[in-house]
Amino acid sequence: MKTFDVIIVGAGAAGLMAVAVLLRQGRSVLILDMGNAPARKVAISGGGNCNFTNLRADYTHYFGKNPRFVMSALAQFSPRDTLNWVAAHGIKYTEREPGRYFCKNGAGDIVNALFEDTNGATVKYNTKVTDIEKSGGIFTIKTDNGDFTARSVIVATGGVSYPYLGTSDIGQKIAKKFGHKIEPPRPALCAIKTKVFDAELAGISLPIEITVNKHKITDNLLFTHFGIGGPAVYRATLLNPKEMIIDFAPNINVFEMLKNAKQKSGKKSVAGIISEIFPTKLARFLCTDTRNIADIRDKELKQIADKINHFEVNDGVVVGFLSAEVMAGGISTDKISSKTMESKLCPGLYFAGEVLDITGDLGGFNIQWALSSGFIAGNNA
């Protein structure tokens, strides 16, 4: 049986980037993946256009028990390095927002570039890892397609979101076997189910501000048939919200607006005034009072305003892993070197990407983390 220098478990962005680095060093590499194609999550990312990096990537855009863990990886392989890598592969891209980059011709370009860089490695798809052992400095990985040995192993299995793409928790099981703690996995960057909004609001989108655990998120909200979604809500799920406060008019003090209208337009109804700043259906949901505003006490106006500037959602349930873009939680970074991605409990064992307790914000931060962590894992394995 051939003993490889390194076995990579997982052919996602992190694993494939690690392979590319290892091959440049002349290492023998085996890639094991339970699916039938590489980088399957990358292929559907960004609505198929792959938001592959963000120049604002720093620890403030990452979540987990220790977001600062990303600092060394991002310094060693930065968003600028990603842009250089993309350019070197002739990939055309576009900057939709300042510092946020998408593939011009689709995510397939990134997938192809990652795969091209693995030319020279041995690849085995449709191979499910069942166990791993270490003896005498050699790792033995057991699979449903035979056993394989290596001097080092990089676990880059990703999270358990999008299970239909072929994902599993084997990475967490491997880490746990060697003594690593697992932060409870949960779905993130996804919609939220709630019964507090009418289904007829579905399809309405507007800029709002969500407050979760004292964190404020300003972005667009989209009403759905089962609750709320859109970028603001997706980002809120990173904070594991138990309750949220939504400000539907973040740039307007609605109470002051209503008091001013009471003085200047006393014959207008409150509902009519509210409908001037919101879509009709949302205005009706937020306020049905048709009385002349001049006839309404300020105390009542304050209650109406609070429903708009301070709307509480405390029955929200994050949708499951089936539609979540990422997994929050995962392998604790406590016993992993941030400089090399190597386990402090088991020399020769490395981790990279989403399998770790590091989750990026919406906007290209997760793929950047995969590439950065994969790069330094490959550089050190």
Least Cα distance to 30 among 153, 162, 181, 170 occurs for 153
Q: What is the mean pLDDT of residues 221-247?
A: 97
pLDDT at residue number 163: 86
Structure tokens at 285: 């949901």
pLDDT averaged over the chain? 96
Q: What is the mean pLDDT of residues 107-126?
A: 97
User: Cβ distance 311 to 223 under 8 Å?
Assistant: no
User: Cβ distance 62 to 359 under 8 Å?
Assistant: yes
Q: What percent of the chain has pLDDT over 70?
A: 100
Does pLDDT of 47 surpass 90? no
Q: Determine the length of the chain.
A: 381
Tell how far CA 131 is from the center of its chain.
Answer: 28
Q: What percent of the chain has pLDDT over 90?
A: 95
Angle (CA) 159 165 168, round 5°? 40
Mean pLDDT check: name the lowest of 19-23, 139-143, 160-164, 212-216: 160-164
Sorted by where each begins, the domain ranges of the chain are: 3-186+328-380, 191-319
282 pLDDT band, cuts 50/70/90, is: very high
Does pLDDT of 37 surpass 90? yes
d(CA 69, CA 17): 19
d(CA 346, CA 117): 28
pLDDT at residue number 82: 98
Structure tokens at 260: 């001013």
d(CA 59, CA 324): 22
pLDDT digits (tens, 9 = 90+) for 312-371: 999 999 999 999 999 999 999 999 999 999 999 999 999 999 999 999 999 999 999 999
Q: What is the mean pLDDT of residues 177-196?
A: 97
pLDDT at residue number 166: 83
Least Cα distance to 344 among 353, 355, 331 occurs for 331
d(CA 354, CA 185): 11
Beta bridge partners of 210: 217, 246
pLDDT at residue number 164: 81
Give the fold, CATH level 3, of 3-186+328-380: FAD/NAD(P)-binding domain (3.50.50)
pLDDT digits (tens, 9 = 90+) for 100-111: 999 999 999 999
**Quick one: three-class SS letters along the chain?**
CCEEEEEEECCCHHHHHHHHHHHHCCCCEEEECCCCCCCHHHHHHHHHCCEEEECCCCHHHEECCCHHHHHHHHHHCCHHHHHHHHHHCCCCEEEEECCEEEECCCCHHHHHHHHHCCECEEEECCCCEEEEEEECCEEEEEEECEEEEEEEEEECCCCCCCHHHCCCCHHHHHHHHCCCCEEEEEEECCCEECCCCCHHHCCCEEEEEEEECCEEEEEEEEECCCEEEHHHHHHHHHHCCCCEEEECCCCCCHHHHHHHHHHHCCCCEHHHHHCCCCCHHHHHHHCCCCCEHHHCCHHHHHHHHHHHHCEEECCCEECCCCCCCEEEEEECCCCECCCCCEECCCCCEEECHHHECCEECCCCHHHHHHHHHHHHHHHHC
Q: What is the pTM of this model?
A: 0.95
Mean pLDDT check: name the lowest of 62-66, 154-158, 322-326: 322-326
pLDDT at residue number 137: 96
d(CA 334, CA 329): 13
Structure tokens at 292: 């002349």
pLDDT digits (tens, 9 = 90+) for 124-135: 999 999 999 999
Instruction: For 206, list phi and psi in degrees, rounded to 5.
Output: -160, 155
Q: What is the mean pLDDT of residues 243-268?
A: 95
pLDDT at residue number 27: 98
